[in-house]
Chain A
Amino acid sequence: MAVELPFEKPLIELRLKIEELKQFTEEKGIDMSVEVATLEAKAKALAESIYRDLTPWQKVQIARHPERPTTLDYIRGMCDDFVELHGDRSFREDAAIVGGIARFDGYPITVVGTQKGRDTKENIFRNFGMAHPEGYRKALRLMKQAEKFGRPVLTFIDTAGAYPGTGAEERGQGEAIARNLIEMAALRVPIVCIVTGEGGSGGALGLGIGDRLLMLEHAYYSVIAPESAAALLWKDASQGQRAANAMSITAQDLFRFGIVDEVLPEPFGGAHRDPAAMIRTVKTAVSGALASLRERPSVDLSTSRYDKYRSMGVVMGGATHSRLVDTAVGDEGTNGAELEPEVQDSRH
């Protein structure tokens, strides 16, 4: 049984009606084909209008869809010879982050990503894709291993955030993420990151520093979950919708800000409607990104990665503004130069 989202309800009702009519035609032998055709045209138009203009909050719902392809679906669908590797070598294995080595386009790569479950049982095992410090440390271990063997790293991000629990705090959730940031900034092999669903704050960033950041069309990436933002700003977690709209968290927003390098189109209605097509799209994009990075010497990579992150942010006053514009050169920074006027326009 497909999981339907609240905003899809009118469409589903209409489709049910069409089914009823069709059945009626069959049973009673009365020709209703004209009516059916009209309604089908109407359903198509309705679907167009719903999916073409999704609000940020609707995108958040699609990004959280339980049937959306998970990291393991992408890895298995895109790579050959995937060998999963476990454990952080200091505390334990964390099933919320998966990783290993695989062959992609004929080359060995290291893959790492947050992993959600499909049902309650699996979600409990995966801790709903929310990693503990040991998960981030496992990811780092695999990335350092990639550096040793000179293979690129591919990370998949789909998490509501790093797990906020007592054990996580005791074992240094902040330290684990902080270490990944600084190590990934300095890693000598190419890193490509893809936000496939939820990009939840520091928990997402902990696997998200790289040379290319790709994002699926309906994925979101935010400094704080919309519900938490609403709880802090208006003392009301149910205002997630309002917060989602205010915070500019969609792939399109982030592309406009120059933070995301490429937005990958999803099948009509979302990745879960056609996972195979989605996986093909991601594969092609990753293939292109890795091909362009593979030949670059590590010194060059480190410089461009530095410039990429160095130019992010909007500040006013002094010589800063011109400096920001000045540094926003090269392929990563072109959006940065035009940032402000575009942001202004987007509001209305």
Chain B
Amino acid sequence: MLKDLFPKKKRYATVAPHPGARDKVPEGLIEKCKRCGQILLGKELEKHLKTCPHCGYHFTLTAPERIQITLDEGSFEEFDADLTPGDPLLFPDYPSRVAKAQEATGLRQGVVTGRGAICGCPVVVGVMDSRFIMGSMGSVVGEKLARAVEAAVKFGLPVVLFTVSGGARMQEGIFSLMQMAKISTALARLNESGLLYIAVLTNPTTGGVTASFAMQGDIHLAEPGATIGFAGRRIIEPLIRQKLPDEFQTAEFVLEHGMLDQVVHRKDMRTLLATILSLHPQGGETVGCGTAL
């Protein structure tokens, strides 16, 4: 064959990356977009509030990050930071899972609550953290949110809750189910007081959290692409013996089915929250929102 007379010389040699090389990239320096696969620099990602500038994918935020980008600088005052879970059922491995989550997150529990201001509007906020056993709701999450809502009633403030949760925390059994009831009773009081409650649903918000406070707001907002639903895909698919379409249980799907008011890009969330808050002047509040304090 003629081809054999002109052997193609390999111009490049393939060099396998050093096995450890991947791990040596400092944490947070680069990140790969989970949707479009683009490599993003950490700094660039931070500038876009952890959303992909190419496809708009929203990365998960930790509770401290969420507070930082949502509330006015220096306005946050935390409630009940010292509460930690008990182990009421003496469930196998539960205390060690809690300890591991505490070590990994630096938080005592899967929700951070407190008061602060958004563009000058005072609010009570609660922010869940998905790193903490899937953001699951146990007794402390319920207790902290109920106390936060009670504080809002006491101070006459609106409430903004950012949800991210796999649902109830199995390891606390019936106690975690009853947290849905507990937060609901607290929010019923907030309703009676005529105070505003905005739920912001982020990826993912499912199970018992969807079946309680995530869906009890006066206004429901969500981040684009967030998974929002009651039963998980893993439960529905075997039941109906079909693969569900990709858009099933996305924020856009839930918006279309009438359960949300708006799907809002992260970069616009703070401004929108401030606008909504300013349209709900609360009792005792004299300073208009949007004005610098």
Q: A173-B231, A178-B213, A259-B174 are in contact. Are A317 and B181 (CB under 8 A)?
A: no
- Given the interface pairs A182-B187, A223-B177, the reply to whether A164 lies near B90 with Cβ below 8 Å is no
- Distance of A330 Cα from B231 Cα, bound (Å): 37
Check A181 against B230 for contact (C-beta < 8 Å): no
Determine how close the nearest CB of chain A comes to the CB of B182; give it in whole angstroms. 5
How far apart sit A280 and B244, CA to CA, in the bound complex (Å)?
Answer: 47
| Distance in angstroms between the alpha carbons of A143 and B161 in the assembled complex | 28
Cross-chain contact A313 with B181 (CB below 8 angstroms): no
- The reply to whether B191 and A168 contact each other, CB–CB distance below 8 Å, is no
Interface size on B, residues (CB 8 A): 62
The residue that A223 contacts in the complex, of B108, B170, B212, with Cβ under 8 A, is B170
Specify which of B142, B188, B230 is in contact with A313 (CB 8 Å cutoff). B142
**B83 within 8 A of partner (CB):** yes
A249 smallest CB distance to B (angstroms): 7
CB < 8 Å: which of B80, B88, B186 contacts A257? B88
Which residues in A have their C-beta under 8 angstroms from that of B257?
170-172
A117 to chain B, nearest CB (A): 18
Residues on B with C-beta less than 8 A from A206 are 211
Could you give, for residues 212-240 of chain A, a 1 whenever the CB lies within 8 Å of some chain B CB and a 0 otherwise? 00000000011110001100110000000
The answer to whether the Cβ of A294 comes within 8 Å of any Cβ in the partner chain is no
Q: Kindly state whether residue A34 has any CB partner on chain B within 8 Å.
A: no
Q: How large is the interface on A (under 10, 10 to 19, 20 to 34, 35 or more residues)?
A: 35 or more
Considering the chains assembled together, what is the distance between the CA atoms of A182 and B143 in angstroms?
16
- A179:B186 contact, CB within 8 angstroms: no
Q: Using Cβ atoms and an 8 Å threshold, which residues of chain A touch B229?
A: 169, 174
Q: Does B240 lie within 8 Å of A178, measured CB to CB?
A: no
For chain B, residues 88 to 108, give those with C-beta under 8 angstroms from any C-beta of chain A: 88-92, 108
Rounded to whole angstroms, the CA-CA distance of A320 and B177 in the bound complex is 20
Interchain CA distance A310-B147 in the complex, whole Å: 9
The B contact surface, by secondary structure, is: helix
Distance in angstroms between the alpha carbons of A247 and B94 in the assembled complex: 12
Q: Contacts A174-B229, A174-B230, A347-B90; is A202 near B215 (CB within 8 Å)?
A: no
Residues of B within 8 A of A175 (CB): 210, 215, 259
Contact with A along B187-211 (1 / 0, CB 8 A): 1110110000000000000011011
A188 and B235 CA atoms in complex are apart in Å by 37
Taken together as a complex, chains A and B put the C-alpha atoms of A306 and B170 apart, in Å, by: 24
CA distance A233 to B133 in the complex (A): 13
B-chain residues with CB within 8 Å of residue A171 when the two chains form the complex: 257
Chain B residues with CB under 8 A of A254:
174
Chain A nearest Cβ from B90, distance in angstroms? 5
- B176 in contact (CB, < 8 A): yes
Q: Which residue on B lies nearest to A178, using beta carbons? A: B215
Cβ of A59 within 8 Å of any chain B Cβ, yes or no, is no
Contact B210 A178 (CB under 8 A): yes
Chain A 109-123: CB-based contact to B (< 8 A → 1; otherwise 0): 000000000000000
A315 within 8 A of B: yes
Interface assignment of B7: CB less than 8 Å from any CB of chain A: no
**CA A309 – CA B182 in complex, angstroms?**
5
Q: Is B127 at the interface (CB under 8 A from chain A)?
A: no
Chain A residue numbers with a CB within 8 Å of B192 are 186
Q: Is A162 an interface residue (CB 8 A)?
A: yes
Complex interface: chain B residues within 8 A of A222 (CB):
173-174, 177
Q: Are B235 and A313 in contact (CB under 8 A)?
A: no
- B228, closest chain A residue (CB): A174
Do residues A186 and B170 form an inter-chain contact, with CB atoms below 8 A? no
- Min distance, Cβ B60 to any Cβ of chain A, angstroms: 20
A178 lies within 8 A of B214 (CB): yes
**Which of A233, A247, A249, A313 is most buried by chain B, counting CB atoms within 10 A of its CB?**
A313
Interface residue B19 (Cβ < 8 Å from any Cβ of A): no
Binds B, one of A149-157, A271-279, A336-344: A336-344
Residues of B within 8 A of A312 (CB): 139, 175, 178-179, 181-182
- Chain B residues, CB < 8 A from A318: 80, 82-83
- Is residue A248 contacting chain B, with contact meaning CB distance below 8 A? yes
For window 312-346 of chain A, which residues contact chain B by CB distance below 8 Å? 312-318, 320, 339-340, 343-344
Among A164, A174, A223, the residue within 8 A (CB) of B173 is A223
Distance to closest chain B CB from A286 (angstroms): 21
Interface residue B251 (Cβ < 8 Å from any Cβ of A): no
Contact in complex: B239, A185 (CB < 8 Å): no
Known contacts A175-B259, A340-B86; decide if A205 and B215 are in contact (CB<8 Å). Answer: no
Query: For the complex, what is the distance from the CA of A101 to the CA of B137, rounded to whole Å?
Result: 36
Contact B170 A229 (CB under 8 A): yes
Contacts of A249 in B (CB 8 A): 173-174
In the complex, A55 has a CB within 8 A of chain B:
no
Determine if B89 and A246 form an interchain contact, defined as CB atoms under 8 angstroms apart: yes
Whether A164 contacts B236 by the Cβ 8 Å rule is yes
**Is A202 in contact with B177, judged by CB distance below 8 angstroms?**
yes
Contacts of A208 in B (CB 8 A): 181
**Shortest beta-carbon distance, A201 to chain B, in Å?**
7
The answer, yes or no, to whether B278 is at the interface (CB within 8 Å) is: no
Q: How far is the CA of A232 from the CA of B167 in the complex (A)?
A: 13
Does residue A292 face the partner (Cβ distance < 8 Å to B)? no
Any A CB within 8 A of the CB of B159:
no
Known A-B contacts A247-B89, A310-B185; A168 and B230 likewise in contact (beta carbons under 8 Å):
yes
Q: Can you name 29 A-B pairs with beta carbons within 8 Å?
A: A164-B230, A168-B231, A169-B249, A170-B257, A174-B215, A178-B210, A181-B212, A182-B188, A183-B188, A202-B168, A205-B211, A206-B211, A222-B174, A222-B177, A223-B172, A229-B170, A247-B91, A248-B173, A249-B174, A257-B88, A257-B175, A309-B182, A312-B181, A313-B140, A313-B143, A314-B172, A316-B86, A317-B108, A320-B80
Apart from the given pairs A162-B211, A206-B211, A313-B139, 8 other A-B contacts in the complex at a CB distance below 8 Å? A162-B230, A173-B231, A181-B211, A186-B192, A205-B181, A209-B181, A309-B184, A318-B83
